[in-house]
Amino acid sequence: MDPLVLGLLVALVTVAVLFSGVSVATGLLIVSAGFLIIFDGMRSLELLPEIFFGKLNNFALLSIPMFIIMGAAISSTRAGADLYEALERWLTRVPGGLVISNLGACAVFSALSGSSPATCAAIGKMGIPEMRKRGYPDGVAAGSIAAGGTLGILIPPSVTMIVYGIATETSIGRLFLAGVMPGLLLVSLFMAWSLFYTWRYGSADVLAVRHYTWKQRLEILPRVLPFLVIIVGVLYAMYGGVATPSETAAVGALLCVLLAVILYRMWSPKSLWVVLRDSTRESVMIMFIIGAAGVFAYMMSSLQITQSIAGWIGTLDVNRWVLMGIINVFLLIAGFFLPPVAVILMTAPILLPIITTAGFDPYWFAVILTINMEIGLISPPVGLNLYVINGIAPDIPLTTILKGSLPFVGCMVVAIILLCIFPEIATWLPDYLMGEAR
């Protein structure tokens, strides 16, 4: 069979298998084993455990559970609420400042925790009722938190970026840096929209300015600063060349757990176990997908599919921006159904040669891909964040949450367009700090 036709068949079967409700990792193993048996015979399965083992035999992967532990430790404390309060107390002079503090808290907390749903829950639990109480429209209150939560997969340290780095063999440090300015751009766009909408449709209370004394402002800082110091320290250690991402993440994980124990008195074995259990669950789930995606990639290349697709795209006479547009639509659709990690592991190894041949920067592409995944997090049918918000604010109808989130999807699309026009938004910082990529 022609490898291209076979590739199409693999794509269709993969979609069918994944939609059948089987877990993503097991689904990838099923598709890989099925096609290998049909086209290469039963004996071709002999190599699969070795390929699976080989894919996991990578020191860089250690950073995944470590950053997850870091996030889980922070998420299990009151740090989210403290962060929210701190920003609230410091940003009260801006009319409509509450939504700004919420988005700021989301940006910082999502970077700390690396988890979209955890951010929505931590900030939203306090932020949404407070915003509604003060007259902010329900849509803005819910939408801003849902969208703010998605920032965690873009702003460093991000597990999604690590997974992209591993899948495409690109520098994780450089990827982290590439996410910084687009992350700030997104936060600014989110804030601009929220303020515009609030000023237009919010009640008079919204514009009222609250006053906090300097004592109130300063007393909250000791509870928030230590976590920020750890994150800055971890990033400094990475870029200062002190240690690898995995090593710094391990130290970061240890320090965050210690801080949670000391600062938030989280010393009961039960609460520590919850952190460990959640981290294990999340890490194992991701690592299993990584191993299975390795087997999937082996099947694709062993049946000559990957090579044929890359060759075929090379012969196509299409404008590279049309190509990028098609890739974006494809990623967007994939992101509607699948978690970011799965999309990246399945598509990045195939897409990377295509986009580099078309002259795009792989680090810039990582940012574009990640923003596409962020859109998936607040869009139906899966849209995890929408359901988390629905869980913490059950009296806001899901349709209001959805309508409130839509403009933020618009902001993300604007960000993608801006990044296409000015790719330097993603590439300038890594180029400036680490020199141009080879």
Nearest to 139 by CA among 411, 379, 407, 416: 407
CB contact at 8 A, 186 and 415: yes
Nearest to 165 by CA among 415, 395, 437: 437
In DSSP notation, 348-373 reads HHHHHHHHHHTT--HHHHHHHHHHHH
CB contact at 8 A, 175 and 163: no
What residue has token string 């982290």?
Answer: 176
Please, what is the minimum distance in Å from the beta carbon of residue 257 to other proteins?
9
Please, what is the minimum distance in Å from the beta carbon of residue 31 to other proteins?
9
Please, what is the minimum distance in Å from the beta carbon of residue 279 to other proteins?
6
Nearest to 143 by CA among 411, 416, 345, 422: 411
> Which sign does the torsion angle of CA 100, 199, 144, 88 carry?
positive
Q: Give the Cα separation of 428 and 154 in Å (integer).
A: 16
Q: Give the Cα separation of 352 and 310 in Å (integer).
A: 9
Please, what is the minimum distance in Å from the beta carbon of residue 158 to other proteins?
9
Please, what is the minimum distance in Å from the beta carbon of residue 69 to other proteins?
7
Q: Give the Cα separation of 201 and 96 in Å (integer).
A: 11
Residue with smaller CB distance to other proteins, 36 or 206: 36
DSSP H or E run through 222: helix 221-239
Residue with smaller CB distance to other proteins, 172 or 352: 172
φ and ψ at residue 304, rounded to 5 degrees: 65, 15
Q: Give the Cα separation of 169 and 392 in Å (integer).
A: 39
Residue with smaller CB distance to other proteins, 133 or 277: 277
Please, what is the minimum distance in Å from the beta carbon of residue 430 to other proteins?
23
Amino acid letter, 411: C
Residue with smaller CB distance to other proteins, 338 or 352: 338
Please, what is the minimum distance in Å from the beta carbon of residue 48 to other proteins?
6
Residue with smaller CB distance to other proteins, 384 or 419: 384
Q: Give the Cα separation of 234 and 282 in Å (integer).
A: 21
Please, what is the minimum distance in Å from the beta carbon of residue 6 to other proteins?
20
Structure tokens at 49: 């455990």
Please, what is the minimum distance in Å from the beta carbon of residue 80 to other proteins?
10
Is 133 exposed, middle or buried, given 0-12, 13-18 or 19+ CB atoms closer than 10 A? exposed
Please, what is the minimum distance in Å from the beta carbon of residue 160 to other proteins?
9
CB contact at 8 A, 362 and 352: yes
Please, what is the minimum distance in Å from the beta carbon of residue 216 to other proteins?
28
Residue 78 half-sphere exposure toward CB, CA atoms < 13 A: 11
Q: Given its phi and psi angles, is residue 135 left (phi above 0), alpha (psi -120 to 50 degrees) or beta?
A: left
φ and ψ at residue 119, rounded to 5 degrees: -65, -45
Residue with smaller CB distance to other proteins, 122 or 416: 122
Residue with smaller CB distance to other proteins, 73 or 181: 73
Residue with smaller CB distance to other proteins, 75 or 170: 75
Residue 435 half-sphere exposure toward CB, CA atoms < 13 A: 1
Residue with smaller CB distance to other proteins, 97 or 117: 117
Residue with smaller CB distance to other proteins, 32 or 194: 32
Residue with smaller CB distance to other proteins, 189 or 389: 389
Cis preceding-peptide flag for 157 (omega within 30 of 0): yes
